[in-house]
């Protein structure tokens, strides 16, 4: 049956229409089911947030279908960010895989598990380009680079929504690009803080991932909590209407963030709740998430003539279209308790993929004297707070994930007789403030010691900003005491943000950046440690040396006085280096790769092909990420000192050569002016090719863009 939405809208009363615009987070009703069941009966709710239980969802759906006049089905939404039952690495970690195929796959599995639990719509992916590690939500992002946020965002949306965004299959979810716009630029890295971003920067850094999401067919966009240039993002008409709707041509659903409409009064922008609703609906905000203000004030505003019925109907049309795209008019119960249970047979398969992604998300930062991988002949001790502490890994948006389902390093290593889990060492050290004598002897007897430290998963995420992002002193002192008895230290870091590691670096012969990896943590780590899997992750966010360097990111503008150690007045700190601890794009392997040659051919005017021949000159097979940056001097605007515009991840066997093709078109080189128009400067460009942002200059190819219609 094909539902006629206009016909349905014409049959709806004003109250029924307003009900559709109301999204209810169950916690605002104290989680009491009877309260929100009544709301459904009264037709006062169009969608729910945070019902993750198929029985409960279907019960509410039944009320909507059987006890309301027009039987309009409900939508159930949830933040399915990096898994549902099977938990994948946090998005920041996933982005370090530089593997869009795997990232799409993780979104597909998350969608499948969530859809079977009765969910229709996920509030993901988060597309906030994140350049401040103090901000806790950097964990939810794809890092500091706009291009990476763009392509990983696209992969997630495709994975969540499936092939056809007009018809979301039963095992997929509607996606939501969030937070529009500028949320991650919060001053001082403090969550929810105000932002002030120029149009040029908005156009080039923050908007492109959203443009691509819209082109990919994302069905919804969520506004942000921050104020932007003096106006709260949730009612910023310039950004929501002029830019998002008109310029970027977004015709889907715009949903506010949780209670954000009511908070515009606290921002000091709106005078009262009615004012907030008037401004929000006039900025084309379709759904009010959990402030309940649309329910209370829309009717009065319509009666006063401050909001038109046409405006209301446009919002209703978008919401009903989402319900139609989800197939809810034909099949309101997309899943059942049985279907959910049956899927569990596939969880071991899902976990294998979670492991594959976790392995590719791990970044090897340091490996002096090839201390890694450990061999079967090495007697290895493992110590630290996070070797068997399952709950430490249940992180931001862990959804339905259970601590018990997380495989720890201790569990994964149990069958390796050369690996010794020294579980009590850290607990005793905490108790006595020093290493136990017997433990010292045991640690001394090891060939290598693995120390697992960092942050608990609950230390990053929403409202988890930190003013101090150094490894904590208890852990620093622990490493130092171990180093007194055994210097063969391999440090594993679990964290949801880049940490300042300068104090532990000198004591760590190797460092593995393991982030928060989800369900398959232990297995993935074990494979990396033992060399069964060769590490291939690359940083997608710069690791600073000092907190005072923040914001520090690779693609900054030059100054007129760049740092020069031989000159006095140059851009630097007098008390700290300007270099990061580890740069964007960086990550080691157990083998070595060499770009043996590159070649350029011109296909036609303003279209080139580059071939890169890469050789694995070490003794392990492995994957490498070849990165292509552009650099342009002289144009209509200053451009960054280099910008990532493409990359390829490739598997190369030891001793073999692989050839990679890069296509360079005007699209590769384009950027935006402050009116959000795409432009390309003509003239000479340098294309820089390498396996990190810092060594790309060694392979430089020059091209010249000829003037044509889109260039100036």
Q: Contact residues for ligand BGC (CB under 6 A)?
A: 49, 79, 123, 178, 257-258, 462
Please enumerate in sequence order all residues whose Cβ is within 8 A of that of 227, keeping only pairs 6 or more positions apart, or say none: 194, 195, 233, 267, 269
**Residue with Cβ nearer ligand BGC (36 or 672):** 36
CB of 408 vs ligand BGC, minimal distance in Å: 28
Reduced to 3 states (helix: H, G, I; strand: E, B; else coil), residue 470 is strand
CB of 152 vs ligand BGC, minimal distance in Å: 17
**Residue with Cβ nearer ligand BGC (128 or 356):** 128
Residue nearest to ligand BGC according to CB distances in the complex: 123
Determine the Cα–Cα distance for residues 510 and 490; give it in Å rounded to an integer.
5
> What is the helix (H) or strand (E) element at residue 597, kind and residue range?
strand 593-604
CB of 207 vs ligand BGC, minimal distance in Å: 18
Half-sphere exposure of 501 (CA within 13 A, CB side): 28
**Residue with Cβ nearer ligand BGC (178 or 645):** 178
**Residue with Cβ nearer ligand BGC (125 or 373):** 125
CB of 79 vs ligand BGC, minimal distance in Å: 5
CB of 274 vs ligand BGC, minimal distance in Å: 24
Please answer whether residues 48 and 74 qualify as being in contact, where contact means their C-beta atoms are separated by less than 8 angstroms. Answer: yes
Residue 356 has a CB neighbour count (10 Å cut-off) of: 19
CB of 468 vs ligand BGC, minimal distance in Å: 24
Determine the Cα–Cα distance for residues 169 and 319; give it in Å rounded to an integer.
18
634 DSSP assignment: S
> What is the helix (H) or strand (E) element at residue 158, kind and residue range?
helix 146-161
233 DSSP assignment: G
> What is the helix (H) or strand (E) element at residue 423, kind and residue range?
none
CB of 327 vs ligand BGC, minimal distance in Å: 23
**Residue with Cβ nearer ligand BGC (96 or 177):** 177
The pairing of strands 363-367 and 510-513 is antiparallel
**Residue with Cβ nearer ligand BGC (177 or 387):** 177
Sign, CA torsion 343/349/355/360? negative
- Distance from the first to the final alpha carbon of the chain: 52
Reduced to 3 states (helix: H, G, I; strand: E, B; else coil), residue 392 is helix
* Tokens standing for residue 1: 């049956």
Give the gyration radius of the chain's Cα atoms.
26
Residue 604 buriedness (CB in 10 A; 0-12 / 13-18 / 19+) = exposed
**Residue with Cβ nearer ligand BGC (191 or 643):** 191
* Tokens standing for residue 603: 């296909």
Determine the Cα–Cα distance for residues 539 and 474; give it in Å rounded to an integer.
26
Residues labelled as active-site residues: 257
Widest CA span of the chain, in angstroms?
A: 81
**Residue with Cβ nearer ligand BGC (78 or 85):** 78
Determine the Cα–Cα distance for residues 10 and 29; give it in Å rounded to an integer.
31
Determine the Cα–Cα distance for residues 116 and 171; give it in Å rounded to an integer.
7
**Residue with Cβ nearer ligand BGC (76 or 586):** 76
Residue 253 buriedness (CB in 10 A; 0-12 / 13-18 / 19+) = buried
Half-sphere exposure of 238 (CA within 13 A, CB side): 10
CB of 286 vs ligand BGC, minimal distance in Å: 15
Determine the Cα–Cα distance for residues 538 and 582; give it in Å rounded to an integer.
10
Sign, CA torsion 61/123/671/230? positive
Please answer whether residues 504 and 471 qualify as being in contact, where contact means their C-beta atoms are separated by less than 8 angstroms. Answer: yes
CB of 49 vs ligand BGC, minimal distance in Å: 6
Write down how long the chain is: 712
**Residue with Cβ nearer ligand BGC (222 or 526):** 222
CB of 256 vs ligand BGC, minimal distance in Å: 10
* Tokens standing for residue 358: 């976790």
């Amino acid at each position: 049956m094909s539902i006629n939405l206009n016909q349905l809208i014409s049959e709806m009363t004003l109250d029924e229409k307003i009900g559709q615009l109301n999204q209810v987070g169950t916690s605002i009703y104290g989680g009491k089911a009877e309260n929100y069941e009544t709301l459904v009966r009264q037709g006062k709710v169009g969608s729910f947030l945070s019902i993750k239980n198929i029985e409960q969802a279907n019960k509410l759906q039944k009320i909507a279908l059987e006890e309301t006049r027009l039987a309009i089905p409900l939508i159930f939404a949830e933040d399915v960010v990096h898994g549902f039952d099977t938990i994948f690495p946090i998005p920041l970690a996933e982005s370090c895989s530089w593997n869009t195929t795997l990232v799409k796959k993780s979104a597909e599995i998350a969608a499948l598990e969530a859809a079977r639990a009765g969910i229709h719509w996920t509030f993901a992916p988060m597309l906030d380009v994140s350049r401040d590690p103090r901000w806790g939500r950097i964990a939810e992002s794809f890092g500091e680079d706009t291009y990476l946020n763009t392509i990983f965002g696209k992969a997630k949306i495709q994975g969540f929504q499936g092939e056809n965004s007009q018809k979301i299959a039963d095992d997929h979810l509607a996606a939501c690009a969030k937070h529009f716009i500028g949320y991650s630029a919060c001053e001082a890295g403090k969550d929810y803080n105000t932002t002030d971003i120029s149009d040029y920067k908005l156009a080039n850094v923050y908007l492109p991932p959203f443009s691509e999401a819209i082109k990919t067919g994302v069905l919804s966009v969520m506004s942000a909590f921050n104020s932007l240039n003096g106006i709260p993002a949730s009612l910023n008409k310039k950004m929501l209407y002029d830019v998002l709707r008109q310029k970027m041509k977004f015709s889907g659903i715009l949903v506010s963030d949780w209670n954000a409409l009511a908070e515009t009064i606290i921002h000091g922008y709106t005078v009262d709740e009615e004012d907030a609703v008037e401004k929000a609906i006039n900025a084309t905000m379709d759904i009010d998430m959990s402030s309940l203000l649309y329910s209370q004030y829309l009717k009065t505003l319509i009666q006063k003539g401050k909001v038109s019925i046409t405006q209301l109907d446009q919002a209703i049309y978008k919401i009903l279209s989402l319900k139609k795209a989800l197939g809810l008019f034909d099949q309101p119960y997309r899943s059942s308790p049985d279907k959910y249970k049956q899927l569990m047979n596939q969880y071991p398969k899902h976990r294998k993929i979670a492991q594959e992604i976790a392995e590719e998300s791990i970044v090897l930062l340091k490996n002096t004297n090839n201390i890694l991988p450990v061999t079967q002949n090495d007697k290895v001790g493992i110590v630290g707070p996070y070797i068997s502490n399952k709950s430490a890994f249940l992180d931001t948006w862990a959804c339905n994930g259970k601590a018990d389902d997380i495989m720890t390093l201790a569990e994964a290593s149990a069958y390796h007789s050369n690996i010794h889990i020294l579980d009590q060492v850290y607990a005793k050290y905490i108790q006595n403030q020093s290493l136990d004598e017997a433990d010292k002897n045991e640690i001394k007897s090891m060939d290598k010691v693995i120390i697992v430290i960092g942050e608990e998963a609950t230390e990053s995420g929403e409202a988890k900003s930190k003013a101090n992002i150094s490894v904590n002193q208890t852990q620093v002192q622990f490493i130092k005491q171990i180093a007194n008895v055994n210097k063969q230290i391999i440090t594993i870091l679990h964290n949801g943000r880049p940490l300042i590691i300068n104090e532990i670096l000198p004591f760590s012969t190797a460092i593995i950046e393991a982030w928060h990896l989800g369900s398959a943590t232990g297995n993935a780590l074990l494979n990396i440690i033992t060399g069964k899997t060769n590490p291939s992750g690359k940083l997608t966010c710069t690791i600073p040396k000092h907190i005072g360097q923040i914001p520090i990111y690779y693609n900054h503008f030059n100054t007129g006085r760049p740092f020069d150690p031989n000159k006095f007045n140059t851009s630097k700190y007098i008390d700290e280096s300007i270099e990061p601890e580890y740069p964007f794009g960086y990550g080691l392997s157990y083998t070595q790769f060499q770009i043996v040659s590159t070649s350029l051919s011109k296909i036609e005017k303003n279209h080139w092909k580059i071939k890169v021949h890469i050789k694995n000159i070490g003794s392990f097979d492995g994957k490498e990420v070849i990165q292509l940056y552009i650099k342009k001097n002289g144009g209509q605007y200053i451009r960054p000192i280099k910008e990532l515009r493409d990359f390829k991840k490739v598997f190369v066997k030891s001793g073999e050569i692989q050839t990679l093709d890069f296509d360079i078109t005007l699209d590769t080189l384009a950027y935006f002016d402050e009116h959000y128009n795409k432009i390309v400067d003509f003239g000479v460009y340098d294309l820089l090719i390498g396996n990190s942002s810092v060594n790309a200059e060694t392979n430089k190819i020059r091209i010249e863009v000829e003037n044509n219609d889109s260039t100036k």
